Amino acid sequence: MRELELIDCLERVLGAGADGSPPAGAGRIVRWLGDDASVVRSAGYAVTSVDTVVDGVHFRSGELTPAEIGHRAMGSALSDLAAMAARPGEAYLALALAPGTELADAVALIAGAQRLAAAYGVSIAGGDVSASSVLTVTVTVVGWTRDPGDLVGRDGARPGDLVAVTGSLGAAGAGLALLEHRARPNGLTEATVRRLHTRYARPEPRVSAGAALSALGATAMVDLSDGLATDARHLARRSSVTIELDLSALPLAAGVAEVAAQLGIDAASYAATAGEDYELCACLPPSARTMIQSDPSGPAASDRRAGSDTWPGLTWIGRVLEGPGDLRFAGAAGELSGYEHSS
């Protein structure tokens, strides 16, 4: 395909005006596609995250539709903003397309990213297109906050805090196992199989839950992309505390136990290590638990539109102790670890 042809298609997908101007409702965007750079009005403090996914490393294009690939790329990037309790604003999308990529597939990928972005009030403000030996999608997202004190990092957990997770765990890993035929849908309903696939193929960033947890006084927070056993360890190390989690307390998604049994893995251990759930793990003062019990309605319904139990399905799974920056699981037969990035 020709680059200019693709850019023309992208402008239509992203809702450009007849003169190529940003679409209505683009908010802070002054100039966007068609110029050498985007121009965006500031809105306080910018919170920026860059996320890259590569075919064969983070996904396999033969297992997902182009729209699902676009959704996953955008969802994983927006999840970083959710974990910081930042309000999403703009996104920038860079595509490195593999040889032989059809124009329709490239457009479908962008459309998948655009649909999820629009659902969270995010405008795709620009990006780049190039060629590569493998499909590579890089999403840069910019969130905003008026008060940096509202943001939640990984380094604030304190002894005495409680640890909680949103939603349920293990669904994305189980969905991937079914997709790769490492497990079979034996004993699972068609609806459960679809939900497991959706949790892997179309993750939902927990934006409202992140903001609500910040309002509850969350001291440290992380999104569960690499698995609870890896990501909670990040909180422990960055905060220089020991985090103790109860393996039996983990909220398992429907179907996870059946898939884990086929793989010969304890279901709770699988939920702690499989990754890709994009739920939030947060450390909170004990007073937050009392506040939740007195007001169980939780945040806005935007995080529940896909049928998840993100809120009020907050599950208390452990506690923060004094210690050397370590993570331990009560009830585990040995040390657990999720995905580890390596080069």
Residue 291: band (very low, low, confident or very high) from pLDDT cuts 50, 70, 90 = confident
User: 298 versus 277: which is more confidently predicted?
Assistant: 277
Average pLDDT over residues 119-129: 90
Structure tokens at 103: 């124009």
* pLDDT value of residue 127: 87
Confirm if 329 and 266 have CB atoms less than 8 A apart.
no
pLDDT at 265 over 70: yes
CA 68 – CA 316 distance, rounded (Å): 31
Residue 297: band (very low, low, confident or very high) from pLDDT cuts 50, 70, 90 = low
Q: pLDDT digit string (tens) for 180-206?
A: 999 999 999 999 999 999 999 999 999
* pLDDT value of residue 333: 67
* pLDDT value of residue 29: 80
Q: pLDDT digit string (tens) for 80-112?
A: 999 999 999 999 999 999 999 999 999 999 999
Q: What b/e sequence results for 313-343 when a residue is b if at least 16 CB atoms lie within 10 Å of its CB, and e otherwise?
A: bbbbbbbbeeeeeebbbeebeeebebbeeee
pLDDT at 63 over 70: yes
> The pTM is what?
0.88
Average pLDDT, the chain: 88
Lowest mean pLDDT among 25-34, 118-127, 259-268: 25-34
pLDDT at 321 over 70: yes
CA 12 from chain centre, in angstroms, equals: 27
* pLDDT value of residue 300: 44
